[in-house]
Amino acid sequence: MLACRGPALCTALRRAAPGGLASFHSSAPRCRAARVAVVLSGCGVYDGTEIHEASAVLVHLSRGGAEVQMYAPDVPQMHVIDHSKGQPAEAESRNVLVESARIARGKIASLAKLTTADHDAVIFPGGFGAAKNLSTFAVDGKDCKVNREVERVLKDFHKAGKPIGLCCISPVLAAKVLSGAEVTVGHEEEEGGKWPYAGTAGAIKELGAKHCVKEVTEAHVDTKNKVVTTPAFMCETALHHIFDGIGAM
Nearest CA-CA partner of 128 in 186, 170, 171, 95 = 170
Average pLDDT over residues 142-160: 98
Which residue type is seen at 182? Answer: E
* Secondary-structure breakdown of the chain: helix, strand, coil percentages, each rounded to the nearest 5: 35, 15, 45
CA distance 86 to 164: 31
151 in a domain, yes or no? yes
46 in a domain, yes or no? yes
Domain count, the chain: 1
Instruction: Single out the catalytic residue among 43, 144, 168, 235.
Output: 168
CA distance 67 to 160: 19
Q: Report how far Cα 24 is from the mean position of its chain's Cα atoms.
A: 23
Task: Please say whether the beta carbons of 96 and 41 come within 8 A.
Answer: yes
235 in a domain, yes or no? yes
Active site residue 10: no
Secondary structure of residue 95 in the 3-state scheme: strand
Share of the chain above pLDDT 70, in %: 88
pLDDT tier for residue 12 given thresholds of 50, 70 and 90: low
54 in a domain, yes or no? yes
What pLDDT, on a 0 to 100 scale, did the predictor assign at position 25?
38
1 in a domain, yes or no? no
Average pLDDT over residues 192-198: 97
Domain that holds residue 189: 35-248
Share of the chain above pLDDT 90, in %: 84
14 in a domain, yes or no? no
Average pLDDT over residues 105-112: 98
In tens, the pLDDT along 29-57 reads 455 789 999 999 999 999 999 999 999 99
Average pLDDT over residues 188-204: 97
Helix axes 51-63 and 96-103, enclosed angle (nearest 10): 50
Positive/negative CA dihedral, 187, 192, 196, 201: positive
Task: Please say whether the beta carbons of 227 and 236 come within 8 A.
Answer: no
16 in a domain, yes or no? no
CA distance 13 to 48: 28
- Pairing type for strands 227-230 and 35-39 reads unpaired
24 in a domain, yes or no? no
Mean pLDDT over each residue of the chain, to the nearest integer: 91
Nearest CA-CA partner of 246 in 107, 69, 52, 102 = 52
Average pLDDT over residues 77-90: 92
Residue 3 confidence (pLDDT) above 60: no
- For residue 112, give the CATH number of its domain: 3.40.50.880
